[in-house]
Amino acid sequence: MTAIFPAAALYVHIPFCRSRCIYCDFNTYGGVGEAERGRYHRALLQDLNASAQLLKTYSPAADTGLQHFWMAGPRAFLNEGLKYAHGRSALKSIYFGGGTPSYAPAVWLSEILDGIKKVFPVDEAAEITFEANPGTLCPQKLYLFRQAGFNRMSLGVQSLDDKLLHKIGRIHNACEAVQAVSMARRAGFDNINLDLIYGLPGQTETVWRTTLQGIIELRPEHISCYALSVEEGTPLEKKLASGIMTLPGDDECEAMENTRDALLSANGYRQYEISNYARDGKYCIHNLIYWNNLPYLGVGAGAVSYINGWRMTRQKLPDRYAELAAGGMYVCCEGERLSLLSRWREYLMLGLRTVDGINTEYLWERFPKALHCELKEWLQSFCAELPPGLLKAEGRRLYLSQAGLRLSNEIFVRILEDGELAHIFRRHNIDALRR
């Protein structure tokens, strides 16, 4: 392995679920037999080994992404622990997502994690997460996951209202969600995230408040609260279009957001990103790596990697992915080299998702000095053109206010569509300056 490992995180995609929820548009598949899932499992192991061999040839000369581990977020403003130590870099996070990784036999996930540790450098303190559905867990499976080396569980609860859970196609009820947390604690997990969704069909602020109060009583280290997104082609979109279901109005959703912020803050949970809250500093390392636009490797059907300025996507269909991996063929089907303009936009949009924002001292080190003067002027102008108080620049900190976080999508669209920004990069023929 090279002295400097080119990825801060590894994502492993397990695309299978017992059944799909009506709002899901992820690359997931329900009702798939064990034989097909076993074939996919073997393909993952082959993909991991092939990826490890490929990364042995990595040259860091063109990639400054490893120069600083934290660019944005809570750790960007600490005075220590910021830089990678040359010759000692390794994976800071391993994340099994899906789909429903906990739907797979525990021995499969254990075998994959063992395989990762054999071929990749893994930091001793690495965060190792698996996503789970309460309807797929039992004490023995959780114990085996913990013994295998997983130290963090992300549990898809979504709601503690049984009527809502049934309406959106979840395979568990509220009691099973509560029991799953208790079982995980007994198995030795001391870092648990609970996923919630608000703005669900028929949901009210009162129902949402009851869910939040029940979740807080469980004392998870981390809580993710996502606003429902209606994706094209999902069963939910069709039900809404036909009038079978209706969504709460804007005022009701705003009331849910206010309740979320008030209850979580009052109970020791700090918001550190648009949708994420943690107590006792238990921020999700894996997501912080994404939000800092640091390099990561993704394996599995449809998984995305971002290494050395390249974004690569693996074959989406599990059957085709397994066929390619079994034949020793290249499993990536798409790849693009990001321009510096694209990188600048992504650094801003990802970093500004965090409450603490971007440490501009590290931001400037990512881009050629020839651009610094004009980009600083552009930043000042961009902040001034927004409604007052949304985007703030204070010292070396660039961040969105609470009002700005709620309007972040609109602000990010303006960054993407800003013509002057694109003109700056074109004027300098900046591809020739790409690092």
pLDDT of residue 117 exceeding 70, the answer is yes
Average pLDDT over residues 9-19: 97
Tens of pLDDT, residues 382-412: 999 999 999 998 888 999 999 999 999 999 9
pTM listed for this prediction: 0.93
- Return the residue matching tokens 């931001």: 363
Q: Which of these, 58, 130, 49, 110, lies nearest to 89 by C-alpha position?
A: 58
Residue 39 resides in a domain:
yes
Tens of pLDDT, residues 131-190: 999 999 999 999 999 999 999 999 999 999 999 999 999 999 999 999 999 999 999 999
Return the minimum-mean-pLDDT range out of 103-117, 230-244, 357-371, 395-409. 357-371
Hey, how many other C-beta atoms are within 10 angstroms of the C-beta on 230?
Answer: 15
Q: Which of these, 291, 312, 290, 289, lies nearest to 302 by C-alpha position?
A: 312
Residue 3 resides in a domain:
no
pLDDT of residue 1 exceeding 60, the answer is no
124 and 230 housed in the same domain: yes
The residue type of 24 is: C
The alpha carbon torsion through 71, 75, 81, 85 (nearest 10 deg) reads: -30
CATH of the domain at 210: 3.20.20.70
Tens of pLDDT, residues 219-256: 999 999 999 999 999 999 999 999 999 999 999 999 99
| Tokens, residue 108 | 């499969």
Residue 54 resides in a domain:
yes
Q: Which pLDDT band, with edges at 50, 70 and 90, does 306 fall under?
A: very high
258 and 359 housed in the same domain: no
Residue 121 resides in a domain:
yes
Q: Which of these, 315, 323, 332, 316, lies nearest to 26 by C-alpha position?
A: 316
Residue 331 resides in a domain:
no
Contact (Cβ atoms closer than 8 angstroms) between residue 66 and residue 4: yes
Number of domains in the chain: 2
Contact (Cβ atoms closer than 8 angstroms) between residue 423 and residue 329: no
Integer-rounded Cα radius of gyration of the chain:
22
Average pLDDT over residues 58-83: 57
Q: What percent of the chain has pLDDT over 70?
A: 91
Expressed as residue numbers, the domain containing 90 is 9-291
261 and 344 housed in the same domain: no
215 and 111 housed in the same domain: yes
Nearest-angstrom CA–CA distance, 69 and 65: 8
280 and 422 housed in the same domain: no
357 and 267 housed in the same domain: no
Annotate 335-359 with DSSP letters as a single string.
Answer: EEE--HHHHHHHHHHHHTTBSS-EE
Residue 86, pLDDT score: 38
276 and 371 housed in the same domain: no
188 and 284 housed in the same domain: yes
Residue 308, pLDDT score: 82
Residue 87 resides in a domain:
yes
Residue 6, pLDDT score: 81
222 and 144 housed in the same domain: yes
234 and 357 housed in the same domain: no
Contact (Cβ atoms closer than 8 angstroms) between residue 340 and residue 430: yes
Contact (Cβ atoms closer than 8 angstroms) between residue 144 and residue 98: no
Q: Which of these, 19, 17, 409, 25, lies nearest to 237 by C-alpha position?
A: 25
90 and 152 housed in the same domain: yes
Residue 87, pLDDT score: 40
Q: What is the mean pLDDT of the chain?
A: 91
